[in-house]
């Protein structure tokens, strides 16, 4: 059995993770450890951890360090606090891999902790470009450079990762995982959607 740690701190990235979490659960040689932080735990942001539970997943490790406040330096201080609790948790749990999706600044914490604890990192949706975004590309590319395996959503993104110096054997073009959700029974057919009553 291999253990896959999966980190989420934001509702937007959790949608990307749903099909991945289900695939881990369905695999006979994999088990998952779900680490949840940030807005997912905050009542002021809807306590979306309840959505995680409603999807049938356990919040194995709630990493609650609150949320950054609106003042200069608060985000870096908050990421530092989250890095500390991620390090403590990962050093105890020791998953075989830590999987993280995308480009949110919260991801700098678990990725830094995993790197320092010697836990390999799998990055989902690396190699993308977000034109005009202030932090996104810098965070995403930083995570990619620290990651050991890459699961980009497009061939262009995969080629970009290789162009950044990642070894080709580490890059696996899997497509965007959130598209899998469109084939779920939870979504209405196009005909039902088109004919919905308003």
Mean pLDDT by 10 residues, the chain (198 residues): 94 86 95 93 81 92 86 86 97 97 92 98 92 79 96 94 96 86 66 65
Question: Residue 133 and residue 183: Cα distance in Å, rounded?
Answer: 30
Q: Are 151 and 174 in contact (CB under 8 A)?
A: yes
Q: Which long-range contacts (CB under 8 A, 24 or more apart) does 136-144 make?
A: 136/103, 137/103, 139/103, 139/104, 139/105, 139/107, 139/108, 140/102, 140/103, 142/108, 142/111, 143/100, 143/103, 143/107, 143/108, 143/111
Q: What is the pLDDT of residue 196?
A: 64
What's 86's domain CATH number? 3.40.50.2000
Side-chain half-sphere CA neighbours of 158 within 13 A:
16
Residues whose CB is less than 8 angstroms from the CB of residue 30 and which lie 6 or more positions away in sequence, other chains included: 1, 2, 3, 4, 24
* DSSP β-bridge partners for residue 5: 33, 98
Q: What is the pLDDT of residue 10?
A: 86
Query: What strand order describes the sheet that includes 30-37?
Result: 61-63, 30-37, 2-8, 97-101, 121-124, 149-151
**What would the two tokens of residue 176 be?**
């965007």
Residue 23 structural domain: 2-194
The domain tally of the chain equals 1
Tell me what pLDDT residue 178 has: 76
pLDDT of residue 39: 87
Task: State the Cα–Cα distance between residues 7 and 19, nearest whole angstrom.
Answer: 14
Which pLDDT does position 102 carry in this prediction? Answer: 87
56-71 CB burial, b ≥16 within 10 A, e <16: ebebebebebebbeee
**Nearest Cα to Cα of residue 121 among 1, 2, 4:** 4
């Amino acid at each position: 059995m291999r253990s896959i740690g999966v980190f989420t701190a934001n509702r937007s990235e959790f949608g990307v993770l749903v099909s991945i979490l289900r695939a881990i659960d369905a695999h006979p040689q994999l088990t998952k450890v779900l680490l949840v932080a940030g807005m997912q735990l905050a009542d002021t942001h809807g306590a979306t951890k309840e959505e995680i539970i409603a999807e049938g997943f356990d919040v194995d490790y709630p990493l609650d360090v609150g949320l950054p406040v609106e003042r200069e330096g608060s985000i870096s201080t908050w990421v530092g606090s989250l890095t500390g609790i991620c390090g403590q948790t990962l050093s105890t749990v020791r998953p075989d891999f830590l999987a993280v999706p995308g480009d949110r600044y919260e991801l700098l914490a678990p990725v830094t902790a995993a790197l320092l604890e010697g836990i390999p990192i799998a990055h989902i949706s690396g190699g993308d470009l977000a034109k005009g975004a202030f932090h996104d590309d810098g965070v995403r590319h930083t995570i990619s450079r620290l990651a050991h395996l890459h699961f980009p959503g497009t061939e262009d993104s995969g080629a970009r990762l290789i162009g950044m110096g990642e070894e080709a054997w580490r890059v696996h073009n899997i497509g965007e995982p959130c598209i899998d959700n469109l084939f779920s029974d939870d979504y209405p057919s196009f005909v039902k959607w088109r004919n919905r009553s308003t």
